[in-house]
Structure 1
């Protein structure tokens, strides 16, 4: 067990804390929930940075890091779907969640085929993730209808568009392998 893996585990431990804080009946709970999500997002960046810098990449970390990321994002989006209770937020949130499921399955299948490199994280995926994190921070921290929350919804739509674009790129790269034997 090393520091990058401990940071990944801490990100998973933040999930029930995020849910609990989200439902607290206080005005400050919105900003605290956003702060917890922001801290989790920073641990995502930091664990990868430290693992590479200190040469501490492990199979456990390679497995758990994307799982922790997806769990945190999916839980946060589910909370926001409930809070905003509108198809205008539900649609991009479900696009993002659906893409994560499809790409996780695709990466697993491509790894079994010995072609995981074809669906490695791209620069579009990194931009998408950054915009997604910013959108979730804004949406967690500010009540529906406020100008900052509206900016969060717009940012979520941009992230969802990049989500679809990156998914199409991954599927196009994997298509020759997927279409064999059809």
Structure 2
């Protein structure tokens, strides 16, 4: 296994997860800022590892596997921390939609890859927009405190709702892209039965 710079950045993102959890629960006034900073740093490494991989052709099979795992772990852990601290119906619903969609799309991509059709469910532009909105929402929700009279937490709540809706939209786009293969596979199963 060759460790490329993008893979090292992805591993760093995974190592930041326990740091985020620890910092989130520390009993100090600065922990909100530190947790938001750690998550923002992880988000930047997510963008940076992809950019470096494309720009300098530093792709690896291990990196391609690990990158989405790191992203989903970081987002799921951040959502769990936020819901635990703010257990409202809406916060829980948005978190469930985001995590549920990630599981469903991952399963869909894996299944399509088994059929040799992974290209049909590649990341679309709506998925990239969803990721940006989601990351900004989570930074705001982890920070929690007003900043220069801006209600950061409320902004984060609205952005998380928008991210959840974009998540549903992009999930439906993936399903629509895979639908012809799903129907074709169903028809071939019926013929062999």
Identify unmatched segments of 5+ residues in structure 2: 188-193
The residue aligned with 1:71 is: 73
Q: What is the root-mean-square deviation of aligned Cα atoms in Å?
A: 1.3
Q: Deviations over 1:52-98 (max 9, x none)?
A: 11111111110000000000000000000101111121111110000
Alignment match of 1:152 (pick from 147, 150, 156) = 156
3-state SS of paired residue (1:50)? helix
| Residues in 1 aligned to 2:121 and 2:6: alpha-carbon distance in whole angstroms | 23
3-state SS of paired residue (2:186)? coil
1:181 aligns with 2:186: yes
The residue aligned with 1:100 is: 102
| Residues in 1 aligned to 2:127 and 2:186: alpha-carbon distance in whole angstroms | 29
| Residues in 2 aligned to 1:84 and 1:63: alpha-carbon distance in whole angstroms | 32
Runs of 4+ in 1 over 4 A off after TM superposition: none
TM-score (norm 2): 0.91
| Residues in 2 aligned to 1:23 and 1:30: alpha-carbon distance in whole angstroms | 9
Q: Deviations over 1:145-172 (max 9, x none)?
A: x821011000000010010001011111
Q: Is the 8 A contact 2:145 2:151 kept in 1?
A: no
The residue aligned with 2:31 is: 29
Pairing 1:126-165 to 2, within 5 Å after superposition: 126-143=128-145, 147-165=151-169
- Aligned-pair distance for 1:177? 1.7
TM-score (norm 1): 0.96
| Residues in 2 aligned to 1:89 and 1:181: alpha-carbon distance in whole angstroms | 37
- Matched positions, count: 181
- Aligned-pair distance for 1:181? 2.3
Identify unmatched segments of 5+ residues in structure 1: none
